[in-house]
Amino acid sequence: MAKRLRSSEVCADCSAPDPCWASINRGILICDECCSVHRSLGRHISQVRHLKHTPWPPTLLQMVETLYNNGANSIWEHSLLDPASVMSGRRKASPQDKVHPNKAEFIRAKYQMLAFVHRLPCREDDSVTAKDLSKQLHSSVRTGNLETCLRLLSLGAQANFFHPEKGNTPLHVAAKAGQTLQAELLAVYGADPGTQDSNGKTPVDYARQGGHHELAERLVEIQYELTDRLAFYLCGRKPEHKNGQHFVIPQMADSSLDLSELAKAAKKKLQSLSNHLFEELAMDVYDEVDRRETDAVWLATQNHSTLVTETTVVPFLPVNPEYSSTRNQGRQKLARFNAHEFATLVIDILSDAKRRQQGNPLSGSKENVELILKSISSQHSSESQDNDQPDYDSVASDEDTDLETNAAKSNRQKSLDSDLSDGPVTAQEYMQVKNALVASEVKIQQLMKVNINLSDELRIMQKKASKLEKQSSVSEGDYDNPPTPLELEETGSGRKGRQRSIIWQGEGSIPEDTDTAPSSSLPSTEDVIRKTEQITKNIQELLRAAQENKHDSYIPCSERIHVAVTEMAALFPKKPKSELVRTSLRLLTSSAYRLQSECKKTLPVETCPGTDIQLVTQQVIQCAYDIAKAAKQLVTITTKENNN
């Protein structure tokens, strides 16, 4: 884990104090807001990791901190240091700048366009320049000067360059010299620890020969980083490389789930992929694992006011222009896999990676398989089933390809019609629930700023949210006729729980129209986005009031939100044909009604001291978040349908 940050550290992009994220391949530390932009660029531009809430290999963290402390940021801002830049009006972002467009535009220019890096003199043969840079890198890695090597890599030096005269790669040189941090940097830029030199030796061999045993062990870890990360994602364990165990292959707890013909066909197609296509698929799944894990950390470290904005959301893997359009489409579709489907794909990849690495023929047997995805009797989070449909970036047409991965496609199809709530809960699904609870705890701490029994309050909130969720799904009516909600059990010192019915007659409610036929038409994406922005703006105002304990602002804020929700719902047909649209609209309107009811509980605070304002605030926050989530779903659905 990361050591305590020094107060002098600032964000490399906007100079905000106390940055809590790192961009590994850029050698910098960044703040939350700038990190949200880095994430949207993709891992091929910036590989982000939280300094405190993500496990780190110690030497990798040391490498990043060394680069940061030795001015690696000046590599990416070289021309901005020129006085002429100030004269021309070019400047870096500041903490006060808005994320969009100010910080986002600066960060894209800095890392995506490399607008401020030092430019080499133009030469007719760029390959000669790259070769010269790579030779310089080859000789520089024997020293501890990390920033020099990062500068060379930023200019085009190749981490896997094979020196024709020396007969080896930069990683061989770094390993022989015991330069652990140089090895970490080279590995981040793609250096392969398994590459043999002209004598048939690998960097691992040279590290062991030189007595650098910790470096040798780390190089082995790097060699198996992809499969280690996939295994750790599912079961929280990595293989014991020291003992010669290089693979941990989890298996679904109920093996009967894997016996369908579709599952067998998917696995067969996966096994028939060429090594090249299999490696591409494995790398894409690795990136998706990184996206999902970073999402979980992001959720656990943000407050509600940032959650309801679209600036921080990375719903699928961003487009990598170096990949084909069909590969980018396949990568984006990975986000649509629910936890069970994605776990099955990961397990199949791990199994086949082991088979290919060991040179075994195709076989149905599984040796040394661990049953770590145990059945859990509790309900699993509806989030795994009710994921927002991602709004894909603009890439080519949706055609069948090997990379959509035949295997991946079949894996998804095999359980499309199954009810996962009746099946075993995987470790990943359990972690999703756990992360949601952690996120709730963080939000409460930030918004309430009082010393309360958080675990008790969380259980209460979870119980109430569960009841509300069940209640909202009971009605088979249209979204514009929300079910009659129940006032939930009130809890607190010396009070008994009670329930009583409340009949909703809020202003702006949508009248029922039983004669209307189902309609498949949807409003324009622009109209939906405009109404969503209005809803989001009002929600942010409500959450600010909650943070500042301005309870008297709850009711007027909720009324404005209710009006905005009613106007948005009115854009849609009275009886939408799409079940997904109906579900989202039902969540939107019922949450707005619930919000008004919760906010009205603040009225007797002065005259009735027994009111639990803290609990009310928690429910207000939950309602606001449900409204924001439903609005986002509707934006995604209309965008997708209108683009088809």
Interatomic CA distance for residues 205 and 212, integer angstroms: 10
Give the C-alpha separation, 212 to 216, whole Å.
6
Whether the CB-CB separation of 335 and 390 falls below 8 Å is answered with: yes
**Residue 14 token pair:** 């906007």
Cβ atoms of residues 308 and 625 within 8 Å: yes
CA nearest neighbour of 222 among 198, 237, 241, 244: 241
Tell me the C-alpha to C-alpha distance, in Å, between residue 534 and each of 338, 559, 566: 31, 13, 12
More confident residue, 500 or 4: 4
- Strand 250-252 versus strand 370-373 pairing type: parallel
305 falls in which pLDDT band (50, 70, 90)? low
Question: Distances in Å between the alpha carbon of 607 and those of 138, 354, 591, 601, 602?
Answer: 76, 69, 27, 12, 10
Spell out a b/e string for 191-230, using b for 16 or more CB atoms within 10 Å of the CB, else e: bbbebebeeebbbbbbbbeeebeebbebbbbbbbebbbbb
Instruction: Please tell me the CATH code under which domain 454-490+516-643 is placed.
Output: 1.20.120.330
**Residue 118: per-residue pLDDT:** 87
* Span 457-515, pLDDT tens digits: 444 545 554 554 444 444 333 333 333 333 333 333 333 332 222 222 333 333 444 45
Locate 356 and state its tokens. 């290919």
Greatest mean pLDDT among 220-224, 539-543, 605-609, 615-619 lies in 220-224
CA distance 439 to 459: 13
Structure confidence at residue 318 (pLDDT): 94
444 neighbors 454 (Cβ within 8 angstroms) = yes
pLDDT > 60? residue 598: yes
Residue 249 near residue 351, CB atoms below 8 Å? yes
- What's the CA gap between 626 and 537, in Å, rounded? 15
* Chain mean pLDDT for the chain: 75
Residues in Cβ contact with 4 at an 8 Å cutoff, skipping those fewer than 6 apart: none
**Which pLDDT value is given to residue 604?**
62
pLDDT (0 to 100) of residue 86: 59
584 vs 415: which has the higher pLDDT: 584
Percent of the chain with pLDDT over 90: 42
Query: 367 Cβ partners below 8 Å, 6+ apart?
Result: none
Do residues 14 and 43 make contact, with C-beta atoms less than 8 angstroms apart? Answer: no
Domain with CATH 1.10.220.150 in the chain: 21-112
Domain with CATH 1.25.40.20 in the chain: 126-223
Which DSSP helix (H) or strand (E) runs through 177?
helix 170-177
Amino acid 518: pLDDT: 74
H or E segment and range at residue 311? none
Q: How far apart are CA 8 and CA 6, in angstroms?
A: 5
| Residue 27 to residue 572: CA distance in whole angstroms | 48
Tens of pLDDT, residue by residue over 214-271, are 999 999 999 999 999 999 999 888 999 999 999 999 877 654 444 566 667 778 888 8
> Mean pLDDT across the stretch 141-165?
96
Q: Summarize pLDDT for 325-365 with one digit per residue, the tens.
A: 999 999 999 998 888 888 889 999 999 999 999 887 765 43
- Which pLDDT score, from 0 to 100, does residue 96 have? 93
Question: What is the CATH architecture assignment of 126-223?
Answer: Alpha Horseshoe (1.25)
Peptide bond into 101 cis (omega under 30): yes
The Cα–Cα gap between 598 and 358 comes to 61
Encoded tokens for 559: 């009324």
Per-residue model confidence as pLDDT tens digits over 66-118: 999 999 999 999 989 877 765 566 789 999 999 988 999 999 999 999 999 98
Distance CA 407, CA 277 (A): 12
Higher-pLDDT residue of 617, 405:
617
SS3 for 482-524 is CCCCEECCCCCCCCCCCCEECCCCCCCCCCCCCCCCCECCCCC
Q: Is the confidence at residue 595, as pLDDT, over 70?
A: yes
Residue 317: per-residue pLDDT: 95
| CA-only gyration radius of the chain, Å | 27
* Distance (Å) of CA 176 to CA 21, 138, 180, 221: 32, 12, 10, 17
pTM comes to 0.60
Residue 319's nearest CA partner among 388, 384, 391, 389 is: 391
What's the topology of domain 21-112? Annexin V; domain 1 (1.10.220)
CB atoms within 10 A of CB 13: 31
